[in-house]
């Protein structure tokens, strides 16, 4: 049914809905964060390097889950070559001019199109001519 | 006057684990604006994920409990062999629905032997109806509005005749509405409804039920709707891979003049899906634990695995490995272990084969229609898994004749600025309800205007 003519005179009220959506994703992320903190708390008492390594891996796993559930995404992958974008990339050493291409050293993090941490990048070496 | 004066469409997604609902203005398909999409906070605002209402009914000694309260009570009494009724979706898609509804619930579910499956489903739908009314009242855009169009989403192929079951299902909704009108918000109370009152309430609801106009939208059509909305020039052909809990379903759709048709020859259902992968992972973890101990120890490990399976599976699929604390040990499961597993490898082969078949059918139809582009999309709990996405991105077609575009599991519009990045993380869980709400009536499988 396509009843009547629609008149959308104003923007809808969306702040409350966006907050409830945020709460929903936080609910899913909170448990993972709690696990990360619980495992992190055990680190000091860990007796062996193997135990510490396992705990750190568990902390990392929980942080990855929390990040996914909040919609955080990585910017680039380590070693990837990308066109330089000053909004998304932080050059590890600055030259006189912005490079065209860069290599990702450490991926950045974004959420919903907003860059939270820029990717650390290095200028690629010019290709040798054949 | 409402901002969306054309009225609103409500779509209910009756999921295996959770029910979800969303509303959108009736003319969303023609004039799409993401800001008007309203997922409903069915579970209320007392913490937890407000959009997911557990699909559960528990018959206790003194009352019938619903949702989270039902699950909590069932968990406490599991060791006494008691359980909640959860498999509504499976039940509603059996071919002989009327007969299935008349059967009594097993004693583990109803020790009083008072209720048929129909009774319990009507009670749950009444609870769902009360939850919708509460969520509607709490939404400033929906409060006081009328849902001119109401729909529910269902899989298209499990029984072979989902549209044929439509009349029976609408009758259930109709009784549930009558019951909800009588009982109101009491249905949402954690104490549930007194057993002594339930029989007469059900009987009154049967008498008070009025004809209800309700549409059925196939889940694949809902997926097609949210994927292609706003993309007027997107391809008319689409293959939808739905990796659900119990089955993996593949369908090919063809859009023409605002209507979506299914290509029945492309339909494929695999019995291997989310729960199958859970079992494979649990077996791998049991092996990794070297658990040769007592049956009690093995049961404890199995229960631990089942409780944490969603987390384990998520890490294994997305990060390539999952770590699990088991007593004083940390078990490590790797994606490569899963890949080597014979049962999982067979599932992937079957999935690939079914996808190739559906895609080939879509290509043949596209060729007849003088079209060359096919969209492919995965939906359901396993939709984002890298092995599923890889399959979509490396679709095997004659590249000279056809172009395959893999659509993201979460559409670009779900990242719209208005949602401040908050819709996308939960979109996969709400996708079918949202797709069903924004789809035009022409996409309905039954119960539309032209019925």
* Average pLDDT over every residue of B297-301: 82
SS3 string, B376-442, reads EEEECCCCCCHHHHHHHHCCCCCCCCCEEEECCCCCHHHHCHHHCCCCHHHHHHHHHHHHHHHCCHH
DSSP, collapsed to helix, strand or coil, labels residue A20 as: helix
Sheet hosting strand A89-91, strand order edge to edge:
A81-83, A101-106, A119-123, A89-91
pLDDT tens string B87-124: 777 777 777 888 889 999 999 999 999 999 999 999 99
Max avg pLDDT among A4-13, B290-299, B430-439: B430-439
Q: What is the pTM of this model?
A: 0.88
pLDDT above 80 for B81: yes
B422 with A112: Cβ contact below 8 A: yes
B3 with A8: Cβ contact below 8 A: yes
Picking from B27, B445, B259, the residue whose alpha carbon sits closest to that of residue A2 is B27
Picking from B439, B417, B441, B412, the residue whose alpha carbon sits closest to that of residue B427 is B412
* Residue B244 CB contacts under 8 Å (≥ 6 apart), including other chains: B16, B155, B273, B274, B380, B381, B382
Q: Which two tokens stand for residue B289?
A: 């634990």
User: H-type helices in B230-341, by residue range?
Assistant: 274-289, 295-319, 335-340
Report ipTM (2 d.p.): 0.81
Of A1, A8, A57, the CB nearest to B449: A1
Q: Which two tokens stand for residue A122?
A: 């290095």
A5 with B418: Cβ contact below 8 A: no
B431/A125: higher pLDDT: B431
**Which segments of chain A are extended strands (E)?**
72-75, 81-83, 89-91, 101-106, 108-111, 114-117, 119-123
B334 interfacial to chain A (CB closer than 8 Å)? no
| Chain B stretch 89-128, residues whose beta carbon is closer than 8 A to a beta carbon of chain A | none
B36 with A8: Cβ contact below 8 A: yes
B79/chain A closest Cα distance in angstroms: 26
pLDDT tens string B144-153: 998 989 999 9
* Average pLDDT over every residue of B297-314: 88
CA distances to B225, B258, B414 from B440, rounded to whole Å, are: 8, 8, 19
pLDDT tens string A25-76: 998 899 999 999 999 999 988 889 999 999 999 999 999 999 999 999 999 9
B424 with A65: Cβ contact below 8 A: no
B325 interfacial to chain A (CB closer than 8 Å)? yes
B330 interfacial to chain A (CB closer than 8 Å)? yes
B431 interfacial to chain A (CB closer than 8 Å)? no
Sheet hosting strand A108-111, strand order edge to edge:
A72-75, A108-111, A114-117
């Amino acid at each position: 049914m396509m009843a009547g003519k629609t008149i959308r005179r104003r923007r809808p009220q969306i702040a409350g809905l966006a907050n409830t959506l945020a709460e929903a994703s936080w609910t899913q992320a909170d448990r993972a964060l709690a696990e990360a903190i619980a495992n992190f708390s055990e680190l000091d008492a860990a007796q062996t390097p193997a135990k510490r390594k396992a705990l750190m891996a568990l902390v990392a796993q929980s942080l990855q889950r929390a990040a996914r559930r909040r919609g955080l995404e990585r910017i680039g992958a380590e070693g990837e070559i990308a066109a330089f974008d000053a909004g998304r990339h932080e050059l590890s050493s600055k030259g006189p001019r912005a490079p065209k291409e860069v290599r990702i050293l450490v991926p950045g993090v974004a959420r919903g199109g907003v860059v939270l941490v820029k990717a650390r990048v290095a200028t690629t070496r010019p290709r040798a001519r054949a | 006057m409402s901002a969306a004066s054309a009225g609103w469409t409500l779509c209910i997604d009756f999921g295996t684990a959770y029910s979800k609902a969303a509303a959108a203005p009736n003319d969303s398909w023609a004039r799409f604006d993401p800001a008007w999409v309203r997922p409903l906070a069915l579970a209320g605002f007392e913490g937890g994920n407000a959009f997911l209402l557990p699909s559960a009914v528990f018959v206790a000694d003194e009352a019938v409990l619903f949702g989270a309260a039902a699950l909590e009570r069932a968990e406490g009494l599991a060791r006494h062999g008691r359980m909640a009724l959860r498999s509504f979706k499976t039940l509603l898609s059996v071919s002989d629905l009327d007969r299935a509804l008349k059967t009594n619930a097993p004693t583990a579910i109803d020790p009083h032997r008072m209720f048929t499956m129909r009774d319990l489903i009507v009670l749950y739908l009444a609870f769902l109806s009360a939850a919708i009314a509460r969520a509607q009242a709490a939404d400033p855009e929906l409060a006081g509005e009328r849902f001119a169009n109401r729909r529910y989403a269902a899989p298209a192929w499990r029984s072979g005749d989902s549209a044929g079951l439509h009349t029976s299902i609408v009758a259930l909704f109709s009784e549930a509405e009558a019951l909800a009108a009588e009982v109101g918000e009491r249905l949402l109370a954690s104490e549930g409804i007194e057993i002594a009152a339930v029989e007469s309430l059900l009987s009154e609801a049967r008498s008070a039920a009025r004809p209800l106009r309700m549409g059925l939208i196939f889940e694949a059509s809902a997926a097609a709707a949210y994927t292609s909305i706003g993309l007027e020039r997107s391809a008319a052909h689409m293959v939808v891979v739905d990796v659900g809990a119990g089955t993996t379903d593949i369908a090919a759709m063809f859009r023409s003049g605002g209507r979506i048709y299914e290509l029945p020859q492309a339909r494929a259902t695999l019995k291997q899906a989310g729960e199958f992968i859970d079992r494979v992972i649990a077996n791998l973890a049991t092996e990794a634990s070297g658990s040769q101990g007592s049956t009690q120890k093995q049961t404890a490990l199995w229960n631990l695995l089942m409780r944490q399976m969603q987390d384990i599976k998520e890490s294994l699929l997305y990060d390539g490995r999952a770590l699990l604390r088991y007593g004083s040990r940390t078990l490590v499961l790797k994606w490569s272990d899963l890949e080597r597993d014979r049962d999982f490898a067979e599932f992937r082969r079957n999935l690939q084969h079914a996808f190739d078949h559906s895609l080939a059918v879509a290509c043949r139809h596209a060729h007849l229609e003088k079209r060359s582009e096919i969209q492919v999309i995965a939906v359901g709990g396993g939709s984002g898994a890298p092995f599923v996405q890889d399959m979509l991105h490396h679709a095997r077609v004659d590249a000279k004749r056809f172009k395959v575009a893999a659509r993201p599991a979460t559409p670009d519009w779900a990242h719209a600025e208005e949602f401040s990045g908050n819709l996308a993380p939960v979109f996969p869980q709400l996708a079918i309800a949202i797709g069903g709400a924004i789809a035009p009536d022409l996409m309905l499988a039954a119960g539309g205007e032209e019925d």
